[in-house]
Structure 1
Amino acid sequence: MGGVAEVFVRRVVEWYRAHGDRDLPWRSPRGGWAVLVAAVMLRKTTAKQALRVYTEFLERFPTPHALASAGEDEVKKIIEPLGMEHVRSRLFIELARELVARYGGRVPCDREALMGLPGVGPYIASEVLLVSCGLPEPLLDRNMIRVLERVFGIKSARKRPHTDPEMWKFARSLVPKDPEVAREFNYGVLDLARRVCRAASPKCGVCPLADICRYASRRS
């Protein structure tokens, strides 16, 4: 990796260290179960909402074994502030039971195995591999895709770019090999997308990538 890609990665990591949401508990190295719990909680909700229940949930259900035998009402009571508690509680219990039945309560560090679990798609699988297993995986969602398309001037041929193998290949090529830097890079891109490189009204004037960004150069 060199040229614009190298500058892109370095600046994203530097920006994240200075401005990113580094204190979110699920972003530090931790077990796969804690990462899965956060990922399910963060669907269609905000980090602020998830923070209200995340620690309590893990204290009550620190392992898949602890949750597999729980009642749905008990789970719903804890996660009610997130909304969709009926759907989430059933998914949490199903996920825990599958982990116990198929992997003895261990969260596997294998993409295919992870994606065979209830509610786990490519993004969640990547987050487990990245945060829990220390593998250089990209957190490719619509936010990361937007940043990559704008900075590098690329465009997926698919209507749903997050299903494009070529987009995944390109994103994966950018992720640093060092586990800690890989996490900083991924979360840096996501935070930058949310705060600066927004879908509407992007703040190109304060973006650390503006001078290497094809989108920003067309706006200036």
Structure 2
Amino acid sequence: MEVQKPKRVPTRKILETLAEMYPDAHCELNYRNPFELLIATILSAQSTDRQVNKVTKGLFEKFPRPEDFLDLTEEDLAEHIRGLGLYRNKSRSILQTCRILVEKYGGEVPQDRKQLEALPGVGRKTANVVLSNAFGVPALAVDTHVQRVANRLALADSDNPLETERQLMKRVPRAEWSDTHHRIIWHGRRVCAARNPKCQICDLLPYCWYGKKVKKEKGKYEPAGR
């Protein structure tokens, strides 16, 4: 008999288990202020946090403020961020965003969602990351890890990131949005990979319909370490 998504999801058990598994979960992009987080998050599209951190270490030392970025041409900035995915498009978006920050917001990053999303290169996910981590506003940014893990745990049932976010916001208490976002990302990076997830070592297996499905399909697991 095929394992189906459950009609009733043990949300509290899942959230408590995630908290036990990842008590120190946090944003893994390196930043010192809202501006650096904004730029790092724009750069993180189709790139790993590790790759971004390598690039921004020197970038933010040379150009710590949006005003400093405006001394660069698109070609100059592209050379600094070469190696990251879509680096030419990101160079254009970052310089346009820096110009808006300087001319419209006095060099400061706005704390309003609509104003953030109006910046070039900034979508809902990036805005959520900045609001949550830089300004302490509860938010649930849905990246590929959150999209995958939330659906595997039946905390959401959608192929659309925005709908996944909406469903998570209904299930997860608002005060836990930001922490849950980080914990799900850590789980996706460390255990619940897109391919070959480590279901055999996952503490969430008792509550995970997807893990039970994989277990049934593959049979008895071989022991493995984290």
TM class by shorter chain equals 0.7 to 0.9
Indicate the structure with greater helix content.
1
1:36–1:146 Cα change, 3 Å: same
Quote the Cα distance in structure 1 between the aligned partners of 2:131 and 2:100: 18
Quote the Cα distance in structure 2 between the aligned partners of 1:183 and 1:168: 12
AA aligned to 1:161 is N
Match of 1:101 among 94, 100, 103: 103
AA aligned to 2:162 is T
Identify unmatched segments of 5+ residues in structure 1. Answer: none
Which residue matches 1:86?
88
The reply on whether 1:177 has 2:175 as its aligned counterpart is: yes
Which residue matches 2:218?
none
Deviations, residues 186-210 of structure 1 (Å, cap 9, x unaligned): 2221121133212222211111211
Post-superposition shift, 1:115? 0.6
The reply on whether 1:186 has 2:166 as its aligned counterpart is: no
The answer to whether the Cα contact below 8 Å between 1:16 and 1:185 also exists between their aligned partners in 2 is no
Post-superposition shift, 1:92? 1.4
1:208–1:92 Cα change, 3 Å: same
Match of 2:213 among 208, 213, 218: 218
The answer to whether the Cα contact below 8 Å between 1:150 and 1:214 also exists between their aligned partners in 2 is yes
Which residue matches 2:5?
none
Match of 1:10 among 12, 16, 19: 16
Identify unmatched segments of 5+ residues in structure 2. Answer: 1-8, 216-226
1:122–1:213 Cα change, 3 Å: same
The answer to whether the Cα contact below 8 Å between 2:156 and 2:168 also exists between their aligned partners in 1 is no
TM-score for both structures, normalised by structure 2: 0.80
Which residue matches 2:222?
none
Post-superposition shift, 1:217? 2.8
CA RMSD between the two structures: 2.4
1:55–1:91 Cα change, 3 Å: same
Which residue matches 1:110?
112
How high is the sequence identity, in percent, across the aligned residues? 28
Quote the Cα distance in structure 2 between the aligned partners of 1:128 and 1:99: 15
71-80 vs 202-211, greater mean Cα deviation: 71-80
The answer to whether the Cα contact below 8 Å between 2:150 and 2:184 also exists between their aligned partners in 1 is no
Quote the Cα distance in structure 2 between the aligned partners of 1:105 and 1:13: 37
1:153–1:54 Cα change, 3 Å: closer
Quote the Cα distance in structure 2 between the aligned partners of 1:23 and 1:123: 15
135-144 vs 66-75, greater mean Cα deviation: 66-75
Post-superposition shift, 1:219? 3.5
Which residue matches 2:220?
none
1:162–1:84 Cα change, 3 Å: closer
1:14–1:24 Cα change, 3 Å: farther
The answer to whether the Cα contact below 8 Å between 1:141 and 1:162 also exists between their aligned partners in 2 is yes
The reply on whether 1:25 has 2:30 as its aligned counterpart is: yes
Quote the Cα distance in structure 1 between the aligned partners of 2:76 and 2:144: 34
Report the number of matched residues. Answer: 206
144-153 vs 117-126, greater mean Cα deviation: 144-153
Which residue matches 2:46?
44
1:10–1:92 Cα change, 3 Å: same
Post-superposition shift, 1:22? 6.7
Q: Give the structure with higher Rg (CA).
A: 2
The answer to whether the Cα contact below 8 Å between 1:138 and 1:172 also exists between their aligned partners in 2 is yes
Match of 2:133 among 127, 131, 134: 131
